[in-house]
Amino acid sequence: MDLNANERIEDLQLKGLKIIQNSEWFCFGIDAVLLSDFAEIKKSSTVVDLGTGTGIIPLLLWGKKEPKKIIGVEIQKEVAEMAKRSVLLNNLENNIEIIDIDMNHLNQVILSHSIDVVVVNPPYVEFNGGIINPDSNKAISRHEISCSLEDVIRVASRLLRHNGSFFMIHRPHRLVDIFCLMRKYRIEPKKIRFVHPKAGQQPNMVLVKGVKAGNSELKIMEPLFVHGENGQYTDEIFEIYGMEGK
């Protein structure tokens, strides 16, 4: 596999899977790992990952759950092209498809109400919130430039079949917006789990599950702590990464 400037191949330490990353762009972090573990996916499922970036979530989902089909959607042409090469690198072209398209135009290529599961690790920062990185790839990954939170939830709702599942990781301060928009587009919030850097600190991420046209019932899961008192990952985080605690 030929690499472009600033690219490297990283071993995901999961069933021999590897990913191509560009050190000058936005590289995946723990949020992608947590989301792929949180998502409940059957082997018979067809899954769409909105804003797939380098394709990390499709690769992790395949390694952990092996669904029938995963479609990664990415608006940035260069990033989508790199994700496609990662799929080829792992010989998963029959299982993972990367589509270079604006998610708002997905109705052109994916039938409405045909998808079992939608996952998304969206840009966390509102368009007018914070300083925007001059690098367009990083900016689009972090800020609601090419899509808003409402775009993500609206598109997810259109894609999902009746009783299909929606999984997202976001920041806790957006939770009211998330719930309001989910209800607006008929995705009922079913589970949330707050992620804390360590015990005694405020959560900095939240995992959310919703069900298309589901009944009203929300479960608050046990909090997830990333680090213990010794500064190392907790046993649960080691387990999610597939590693043994030290």
pLDDT score recorded for residue 243: 67
Summary mean pLDDT of the chain: 91
Helices (H), 30-143: 30-38, 56-65, 77-89, 136-142
Contact 50, 120 (CB under 8 A): yes
Please determine, for residue 218, whether its predicted confidence score (pLDDT) is greater than 90. yes
**Domain residue ranges of the chain, discontinuous segments joined by +:** 7-241
Full-model pTM: 0.90
Cα dihedral angle (100, 103, 109, 111), rounded to 10 degrees?
A: 150
Which pLDDT does position 242 carry in this prediction?
A: 86
Alpha helices, DSSP H, located in the chain: 30-38, 56-65, 77-89, 136-142, 149-159, 175-184, 235-241
Instruction: Residue count of the chain, please give it.
Output: 246
Phi, psi at residue 210, to the nearest 5°?
-135, 160
Nearest Cα to Cα of residue 104 among 47, 54, 154, 167: 154
Given a cut of 70, whether residue 109 has pLDDT beyond it is: yes
CATH topology of domain 7-241: Rossmann fold (3.40.50)
Higher confidence at residue 160 or residue 246? 160
* CA distances for 1 relative to 6, 10, 85, 158, 184, angstroms: 14, 13, 8, 37, 45
- Helix or strand or coil: residue 35? helix
Distance CA 50, CA 119 (A): 7
User: What's the pLDDT tens digit per position in 25-61?
Assistant: 878 899 999 999 999 999 999 999 999 999 999 999 9
